[in-house]
């Protein structure tokens, strides 16, 4: 405990209202009016004095995921899903295998449990390290983690490789974090039924634009869910998250249209912008990018001064890069205008810092 440090997101404590927020992989689209209306109606009719109930939410998630209800456990964000899985699968001294740098909560939670993280570095081009990971998995591990696609690198893992790993390690739980699933369409969820050691984590924070309401879920075989539910408290997911999710799941076309715009139009436009100006960029598979400007700290500071937040990377493998999620077309137009004006001062992306 004493050796651990709290996880403090960048720009914590700043008034974020009015800024273009590209630093936390939040959705920047406004909340769907239908969801806002459902929340207001719920509060008007029922208030918030009652503890939440989950059967309706689980039934709707069963429809969305095409999995049986007893394979689904709602959680307080997928951060809690990660925490629950790690607490279930890692005792002090246990080992967790993951490609590094991994989504930060995995390493943080494993550290608090006194577990050891066996981190296989991503390749120099941030490609998934298949051969090294396969070799590292030949040693018995207590938990294997895939973040697909990974945050912060954006790297996707082939489903075939995940299946190979699951099959080669039948006695080891394999957790696949699919927080960005809606942006890639790639999932191993349909395989839950076939493999008792496969656990999938999802969230409403990204494509469903609900990070502030904290809703995630675990998908696994019922016998696994029966164990994990012992760790989640009975009312960890709040009732407003349930109401919002039910509305979202009744109109997934709206979410899909927004994802299609982000991935089909906004992302290619922003990539083209960076390439045109010779700024190195790693597109990744999701709704965010890594960028390596010539002078990263100064670029991040100047963007901040212009009202735009991006996330400076601190991991050695990502030195000199910042991460930015894609905003609305209007926000991205502002971003490109501001960045273009900075180019004569800051230059393109040649130097590493």
Query: How is 164-194 classified by DSSP, letter by letter?
Result: HHHHH-TTS-EEEE-TTHHHH----GGGTTT
179 and 204 in contact (C-beta within 8 Å)? no
Binding to ligand PLP (CB under 6 A) within 174-193 occurs at 177, 179
223 and 198 in contact (C-beta within 8 Å)? no
Q: Is 224 helix (H, G, I), strand (E, B) or coil?
A: helix
Minimum CB distance to ligand PLP, residue 278 (Å): 29
Binding to ligand PLP (CB under 6 A) within 193-212 occurs at 203, 205, 211
Minimum CB distance to ligand PLP, residue 79 (Å): 3
Q: Return d(Cα 230, Cα 212) in angstroms, integer.
A: 25
The dihedrals phi and psi of 158, each to the nearest 5 degrees, come to -65, 135
From candidates 107, 154, 173, 216, binder to ligand PLP by CB under 6 A: 216
The two beta strands, 174-177 and 198-203, are: parallel
Is the Cβ of residue 103 or residue 335 nearer to ligand PLP in the bound state?
Answer: 103
Task: Find tokens 């070799």 and name the residue.
Answer: 135
DSSP element (H, E) containing 34: helix 33-46
From candidates 89, 103, 183, 322, binder to ligand PLP by CB under 6 A: 103
Contact flags string 249-288 toward ligand PLP, x per CB under 6 A: ----------------------------------------
Minimum CB distance to ligand PLP, residue 35 (Å): 17
Q: Which residue is nearest to ligand PLP (CB)?
A: 77
Q: Single out the segment in contact with ligand PLP by CB under 6 A; choices: 28-36, 75-83, 125-133, 224-232.
A: 75-83
In DSSP terms, 203 is beta-bridged to 216
The yes or no reply on residue 349 touching ligand PLP (CB under 6 A) is no
Q: Give how far Cα 86 sits from Cα of 82, 90, 118, 230, 233, Å.
A: 6, 5, 14, 13, 16
Minimum CB distance to ligand PLP, residue 85 (Å): 11
Q: Single out the segment in contact with ligand PLP by CB under 6 A; choices: 49-57, 77-85, 222-230, 245-253.
A: 77-85
Q: Is 203 helix (H, G, I), strand (E, B) or coil?
A: strand
Q: Is 281 helix (H, G, I), strand (E, B) or coil?
A: strand
The yes or no reply on residue 78 touching ligand PLP (CB under 6 A) is yes
The yes or no reply on residue 213 touching ligand PLP (CB under 6 A) is no
| Residue ranges that bind ligand PLP, judged by CB under 6 A | 25, 77-79, 103, 147, 151, 177, 179, 203, 205, 211, 216
């Amino acid at each position: 405990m004493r050796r651990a440090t709290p996880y403090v997101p960048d720009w914590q404590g700043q008034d974020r209202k009015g800024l273009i927020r590209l630093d936390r992989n939040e959705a920047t689209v406004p909340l769907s009016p239908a969801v806002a209306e459902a929340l207001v109606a719920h509060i008007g009719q029922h208030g918030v004095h009652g503890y939440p109930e989950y059967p309706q939410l689980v039934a709707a998630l069963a429809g969305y995921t095409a999995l049986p209800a007893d394979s689904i456990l709602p959680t307080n964000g997928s951060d809690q899903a990660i925490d629950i899985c790690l607490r279930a699968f890692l005792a002090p001294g246990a080992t967790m295998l993951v490609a590094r740098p991994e989504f930060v909560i995995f390493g943080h939670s494993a550290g608090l449990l006194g577990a050891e993280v066996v981190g296989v570095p991503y390749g120099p081009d941030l490609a998934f390290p298949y051969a090294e990971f396969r070799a590292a998995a030949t040693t018995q591990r207590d938990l294997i983690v895939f973040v697909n696609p990974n945050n912060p690198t954006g790297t996707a893992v082939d489903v075939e490789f995940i299946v190979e790993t699951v099959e080669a390690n039948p006695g080891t739980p394999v957790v696949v974090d699919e927080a960005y699933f809606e942006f890639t369409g790639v999932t191993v969820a349909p395989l839950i039924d076939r493999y008792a050691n496969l656990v999938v984590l999802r969230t409403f924070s990204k494509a469903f634009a609900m990070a502030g309401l904290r809703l995630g879920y675990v998908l696994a075989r019922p016998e696994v869910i029966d164990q994990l539910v012992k760790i989640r408290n009975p009312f960890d997911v709040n009732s407003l998250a349930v109401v919002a999710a039910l509305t979202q799941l009744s109109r997934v076309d709206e979410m899909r249209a927004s994802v299609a715009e982000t991935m089909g139009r906004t992302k290619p436009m922003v990539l083209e912008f960076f390439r045109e100006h010779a700024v190195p960029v790693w597109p990744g598979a999701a709704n965010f990018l890594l960028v390596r400007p010539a002078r990263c700290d100064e670029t991040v500071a100047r963007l901040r001064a212009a009202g735009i937040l991006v996330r400076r990377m601190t991991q050695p493998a990502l030195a000199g890069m910042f991460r930015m999620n894609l905003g609305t077309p209007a926000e991205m137009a502002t971003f490109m205008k501001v960045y273009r004006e900075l180019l004569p001062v800051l230059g393109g992306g040649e130097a590493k810092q």
